[in-house]
Structures are given as C-alpha cells and as structure tokens.
Structure 1
C-alpha cells in the first residue's frame, strides 16, 4: 500500500514519513497548523510556505522545511505534493504517488471559497483519506454573504444599544475569517491576545485583515463603545471577558446548525460559520477525486462510511486522534 495506518499515524513506507502524526516521529508532513494536526515533538516537519510561520509560532524552534502548492518532491520512493484544502491559510491536501498509484490525505478542508484561504482544489486519486467532521445531511452552510449579514446585523443592533458583542471563534483561521465578514464601520474590533498574535503573523505574510485593537488587561472598555470582541471560545467566560459589560455573546461554528448546541454553549447567538466542508461539500469533493477507496476520519466516521458504501464506494472508517471542529473543543481549530 502507498499509505498504511500505524499507532503513530498515517505512514508512507516508501518514503518513511508520516502525515499529521499524533505521536513523535522522525519526519512529519503537516496539512495545516491546527493543534490536532501539527503537534510538537517531531524531528523534521514539512508544510506549505504559507502554513510555516504560524506553525513556528505555535510549536517553537522546530526543523521545518516549506513547500509551495503544486510543487512535487521525491521522498524516498514516493512523489509528494501539497494542494489547497481551503480550510485555513496554508492548509493543504497531501498527494502521495508510488508506482502510478495515488493516495490523497485531505487533512481538514472546505470546498466553498472565503476571503483568506487559497480555494480548495480537487485532486484525482485512487484512494482518498477524508475528514467528515460534519458528515450528516443536516449540516448545510449559508453563503459568505448571508453569514456576513447575520453577524453584522447582530453587532449593529448591540452597538446601537451600547452593548458589547463578544464572539467566540478559534484563534487560528476562524477568528480571521469572521473578521473578514465584519463591517468595520459599525464600531471598533477588539481581540484577545491569542487572536491578535495570529493576526500579526498573517498580516506579516500579506493577508488583508481589518484594523483591530489588542484588548490587553490595561485597556479601558468604556473607550470602545459597542465594540466587537473576538476571543477563543474558552475565554468567553473568563475574567478577561467579564470586563465587557453589558455584553451579548455569540459563537461561530458549524455546530450552531444543530439545535441545543448553542444552549449548551451558554451563548446568546450562534452563527453557522465553519471552515470544514458541509454534507454537500464532502460528497462533491469525494466524487471529484474519482477515488474508489475512501477512508473516513474524525467526525461521523461510521455513519459516513456506511453512506459512502451505499453509494458504491469501498469505504472504511478510520480511528485517528484528529478532533476537527469538536463541539467541546476550545482551540484545536
């Protein structure tokens, strides 16, 4: 097989490397910088040139080699290339070819374009290892324009009443995507340190983000009436967030499509904004690969694999340590 599955992760024997391994290995090819895919402890890393800066920020001093989208490398007996996944800036699908047989590891992906990520590109292959975080028909995403209208209407209504809008969004990817939807004419945009640090890295790479102010402990909230405050979900209930009163809370996630999740999150408003493919996107992406063999990871794996089998694919659920956009996750995304 081109790729096999070991306790450390997805392994390529011909190239002696792993893809997004969850245990320390000698050589790791990384699809993107989220914590469940880019873990510390590996001796050597390979990732896209766009993903590299934030990986260094999150992982510290690592031996990291970069690769451009579409560039082909020979590693041992395998030919490897990285292709846009549309998930977050720098995210990639990893194509591995050996003796004319092609496998693709999707990492996390989103098939609809946004203002920041390089748009998803379909890659033809024989075997496709796909995420299925939102692998149920109930998951259907609104357009970017509709999501923007919903967020801005909520913010504007709050600002008109002198209320802060505190929005939970993962610090890498989701926060910046939400920022790309905002109308900065409504009021100032304040950010938690984890978000602002990521903003600085992406701005240095040339990404166009609206102006933000880092909400340090010394910041006086009264000087920023009606501000939008963007923070990791776990910070919404912290002392840091309690300064912004009166305030309304929101959460941006694909899980907001399900009734009851917003209530469990104890937020006032949920916005359906996800950096993963919805049900339609998953099915369209898989069909476009032309693959006969599908391996489903992190999400509704058993259900999704059964569905794919009923559609004529040779499908199997894989047990991995990827978490995707988990209901209870704080900032693995």
Structure 2
C-alpha cells in the first residue's frame, strides 16, 4: 500500500487527511481553510473557517455570522499536527496561497493568483514545495498582460475624454478585487468617482482592515455637471441595467482579461474593453510554477488540457484536478453582487485556440 498523499481530491474539495481539513471546499465541511473571498472559493455552511484578516472581513460581509479564525501571512497554524500558513497570492486584497507541511513534505494550493503587482493586493510570493496546485484560467500563450500602470493610464485618458464631452464613464468590474484595483489607479482630478452599492460595500469592508482606497461618492449625491464628469464603478451585471440607464448619456467599458478576445467585446456590445485581470497570464503561470521547484503540478479551472500538456513537455508530473471553481460566463457578464467569482469561466471564442502550447 502506498502512502496517502498529503492532499487528496474529493467530491467536497481539496482534503488534507492528516489534518482533517479542506481547502476552499464547495460542500459543507467541519473545517475549511480559505484562500480568498470570491464565492466559488468561500462558500457558506462550513463549521469553522480559517483565512487571512482581509479575506475574513469580506467573508463576514458576504456570509453573515460565521466562525472564522484569522492568521496573517507567514504565521504558522497547527491543525492536528499539520502546519498550515498563508502566503500572498496577489489575486485580490487578502488573497493567499495555502502552504501545507507534514512529515517533511510540502504542498502549496495557490487558489487564484497573479504574479504582476497591481498597487493594492499583497504581491505574489513564490513558495518552494514538492507539489503545487495551480489555477490556469488564462493558460494559453495568447494571454499576456500589459503592466498595470499602462492599462490605468489608458483608463484615465478614456475617462478624461468622456468627461470633456459631458458623458458619464461607466466601467463594469467585479465588485471584489477588480473594482478596487481600478479604483486605486484612478486620477481623482478628472472628476468624482462613484461606486455602485455592491462595490462600495466591499470598499467599506476593506477600508475597515486598513486597505487605502480613494474616496468614492454615492450616486444619489452626484448630479448635474458633477455626474457628467464622473466615473462609475459597477458590477458587470449592473452595466446596461435599469440602474445604469438613469445615468443619462454615458460611455460603457468592461475591465476583464477576456477583453483580450475581440469576439467577447462584440458579443457584449462594448466599444471599449480594458484588458485587466486578477489572474496570472501565461508567462505569470509558467514563471510561478518554475519558482516553486515542484516536481508535481496539478492544474485546475481554466485551459487545463493544453496547459497540462505543456507541463508534461517540460518534464513535470502533471495532473488535472476537477473542481467546482467557476465564475460568470465571460460573454454574458451576469453578476451576483459582491460575491462573484471573477474571470474563471472559459469563453467559447475561436480566437483563443486550445492547441499545443509553445513559448
């Protein structure tokens, strides 16, 4: 009989048999270790939660009264003899990779991550390990992000042009993570920054644990010339809704990694799409995996088939993990308030071919 792996993959989620806890489980369990507060990773119904303070505050906002213990980055917690610690994932404020150590073996569950700094989230920290569980949402070479500063400069120019023409600027961005990332890079000298209620609720929660976000105004308090110069941050589902129509003449845009694919912009009817993602691009994924020094890599939610083949071509022992981590359809833009999952769902767009991966 072989030794039981440190982490196993079950119908409830990623399980540590030695410690008897789960990481980001999608069905109710007694003890859940949570990487971040998006709804596909932090679900209701668990007996006890362990998370970073930033993740815990948003979970309490989303899930109500829950039993949640907090651990800071790098702080070791022992669960039934297994050592667990959180390390920055760079995905959204408070997001973490989970390092699990027992019997001289180390596994790391990345959750969702990005390796490029965004000026708000805690920067990604590569962790040495024997086995690494990695997302690959954007695991094709076609996905390569520009620096955050360049994208934000483009957004500010677009806003300034609209303000000069007397048009309200509306950006659809996920209420947890993406909206705050855009907010942190805006130039408030252009005009007022207005946050949809779902976005502002997350802003308040994050400000409460020390994240420095620029001030935002309420729509009810912004009228006339001020509104025509404003930039409005709203969840994707609110753009084009009855709520948005009361803004008057407007210019709409979407902030998403999927904006790299022209067909999605066409289907959404958006003339403007800003390519900005809270997930690693192809280069970020491959660099992160190399930095772990892991021999075994398991990939989940994304272009798992071609990315696994690339890993095997590079000499890794690679596998695909089936999970229930999933976000809104990229070309629909449905939104569920502050607890949406982000950019996960794959588009059915032929521009992003699923063929062999080559650097």
Which residue of 2 is the match for residue 270 of structure 1?
A: 273
Is 2:295 aligned against 1:286? no
**1:248 Cα deviation (Å)?**
0.8
Contact 1:147-1:272 within 8 A present in 2 as well: yes
TM-score, normalization by structure 1: 0.97
What is the CA–CA distance in structure 2 between the aligned matches of 1:70 and 1:219, rounded to whole Å? 43
Which residue of 1 is the match for residue 27 of structure 2?
A: 23
Is 2:341 aligned against 1:332? yes
Which residue of 1 is the match for residue 156 of structure 2?
A: 152
Cα deviations across residues 283-307 of structure 1 (Å, max 9, x unaligned)?
0000000001110011111111111
Of 235, 254, 272, which aligns to 1:251? Answer: 254
- Runs (4+) of structure 1 moved beyond 3 Å? 218-223
Of 16, 28, 50, which aligns to 1:12? Answer: 16
Contact 1:221-1:244 within 8 A present in 2 as well: no
What's the Cα RMSD here?
Answer: 1.3
Which residue of 2 is the match for residue 300 of structure 1?
A: 303
Q: Secondary structure at the match of 1:270?
A: strand
What is the CA–CA distance in structure 1 between the aligned matches of 2:46 and 2:223, rounded to whole Å? 42
What is the CA–CA distance in structure 2 between the aligned matches of 1:119 and 1:225, rounded to whole Å? 35
Cα deviations across residues 153-188 of structure 1 (Å, max 9, x unaligned)?
111111111001110000011000001111111111
**1:49 Cα deviation (Å)?**
1.6
Q: Secondary structure at the match of 2:14?
A: strand
Contact 1:83-1:94 within 8 A present in 2 as well: yes
What is the CA–CA distance in structure 2 between the aligned matches of 1:199 and 1:295, rounded to whole Å? 34
Q: Secondary structure at the match of 2:93?
A: coil
Q: Secondary structure at the match of 2:150?
A: helix
Q: Secondary structure at the match of 2:9?
A: strand
**1:223 Cα deviation (Å)?**
4.4
Cα deviations across residues 109-137 of structure 1 (Å, max 9, x unaligned)?
01011211111100000100000010000
Cα deviations across residues 181-201 of structure 1 (Å, max 9, x unaligned)?
111111111110000111111
What is the CA–CA distance in structure 2 between the aligned matches of 1:186 and 1:180, rounded to whole Å? 14
Is 2:115 aligned against 1:106? no
Of 89, 93, 99, which aligns to 2:93? Answer: 89
Which residue of 1 is the match for residue 213 of structure 2?
A: 209
Q: Secondary structure at the match of 2:97?
A: strand
Which residue of 2 is the match for residue 241 of structure 1?
A: 244
**182-191 or 277-286: bigger deviation:** 182-191
What is the CA–CA distance in structure 1 between the aligned matches of 2:222 and 2:138, rounded to whole Å? 38
**1:326 Cα deviation (Å)?**
5.1
Q: Secondary structure at the match of 1:135?
A: coil
What is the CA–CA distance in structure 2 between the aligned matches of 1:257 and 1:221, rounded to whole Å? 35
TM-score, normalization by structure 2: 0.90
Unpaired runs of at least 5, structure 1: none
